[in-house]
A and B are shown apart, each in its own frame.
Chain A
Amino acid sequence: MTPPSDSPVERMNVVIVGHVDHGKSTFTGRLLADSGALPEGKLESVRAWCDTHSRPFEYAFLLDALKEEQAQGVTIDSARCFFKSKTRHYVIIDAPGHIEFLKNMISGAARAEAAILLISAPEGIKENSRRHGYMLSLLGIKQVAVLINKMDLVGYSQSVFESIKTEYGHFLTGIGVKPSAWVPISARQGDHLIAPSSAMPWYTGLDVLSVMDAFHKEKPLAHLPVRLPVQDVYKFTQNQDDRRIVAGTMVSGVLHNGDEMVVYPSKKRAGLHQIEAFNVTPLPQSVGPDQATGITLTTQLFIKPGDVMGKAGEPEPVVGSCFRANVFWLGKQPLVMGKRYKLKTGTAKVPMVVSAIRSVLNSASLTSSTPSEVQRHEVGEIVIETAKPIAVDLVADHPITSRFVIVDEYDIAGGGLFIAHDDHPSVPAFELEVDTHSSVDLGTRQARCGHRAGVVLITGRHALSQVQELEAELFHQGFSTMCLDALSPFSLPTVTTVAHGLLSAGMLVLMATKPDYVSAIGHVLHPFDCFISEESTATTIAHWVK
């Protein structure tokens, strides 16, 4: 079957951003209507809806599909709209402008390759005009066009247009964004959307659709080193399948069958035996950026999700557990030091803490301060320490594998970029490779001990004397207890190894340690019940393990 000549070859995601009520949904609705992208009857049905609900017709109603959005006249969540110009297909992402919905704006913008930022001519530059501009630069969107909207309300005045252009242009220059175009428009009247307008003869530039068609498609990252974050390792046995396939999506670089691969962070090596695929004959010889793929290796290595595969001889990713990073925070709770979060980067998911907050920037005013936490909608420079080493890149070296998000409890609460590697983590990170090969299972051991195996981490000022007292008291009550000193960073791996052994033997272990070490110990001992406390009594512990 040969593809027809007008087969769609290119699609681009463009996000529409700007302050609330500056006309984003009206612009998008009008653009869809004028370019003939709406299905037959859609415009008429929205007009009819407005009539029956006694509301003046708004192009925005084409996008604000939710009942709550129409009732309040505000966009709550980003909508995807599909349309095509003469040169390519577009997905237009209409983002909300209200500060309350910044997380939805970011969810929309992070999918985009280019952005259109609207500023209302009568209102001028507002808080979210600046905040959205800054977020675009943080998200790595380099192509931006600025539309000065509602020109009809300022008498199509060139001087209003020029003064906003000068002021906002200055702001964008400060954050490293160079707009590809400035267009005066009236979304409601349709001026300069898909054709020149006689209302502003002083403007000789392109209309918006032409500006969009002039955005260029970002090139795949074939020129960067191979980065294949391991999403999973499959061994499906149905129908005598004996392949062990390492699956993931190529972020950058190009791989060929026979290449020598390196797995990070372990740095173990194996040859690429075969690039696998379903319904592809013959199987692929090579695979490049953005392709979901799977490979079999010549040697069976222990590879797990979260590892990164690279190609031997190419620049290596940074392997470490302590990084400086810029983070923008969306969480309902502020980002604080010492709290255990989950870091997701590439396909890795590891516990992390913030060990320092260097500075905090208000994302609208760009004023900075040095408080002890990062509030919602602020941008912070922080130090992240992970419970075990991860393989990532720094933003100067790689635009994609330098990205991460932070999960607080159950929610993605922030995102950011790694800017530097720190060699001296204050929280030691380590992994245990212990297997006792015991033939008696833990349940049986626990049954004989009469209590569950578990570890109590005491972090108070008198932690050591406390664990000694608790050990004796609980021992005399009939518990199998042992206390351990985990206060020194240097002996931490050894002491934790001992704890692991004792727990495997079914014992109740009491460890004196520091708050900073809790996540590292907890990570290693996670198969067992773990109880963390500043101080504890024998009664509460006894109750807990019974």
Chain B
Amino acid sequence: MAAEIYIPPVLQALVNGISRVNVSGDTIGECFENMLQQYPALKPKLYDKHGKLPKGISIFLNGVSAYPNPLPKPVHDGDKIYISHIVLGG
């Protein structure tokens, strides 16, 4: 399946400054693996040392929260996956 991953501003420096990455995969996890093959520098920001998604990011699929357990969620052609940095504010 062909999908698009939206990259939050704080991670764009790790993908040559772009805001969207075209990927393929049947699940969100597979799409992430495909993105990491293209941009390996993202890996420490996308997974913690235990291989889990860190608390500092949120994942949305077509604008809807992908939680709980986002990585096995199925992806269809044309889907949009959004990585959002958790809102810190101040």
Partners in one complex: no
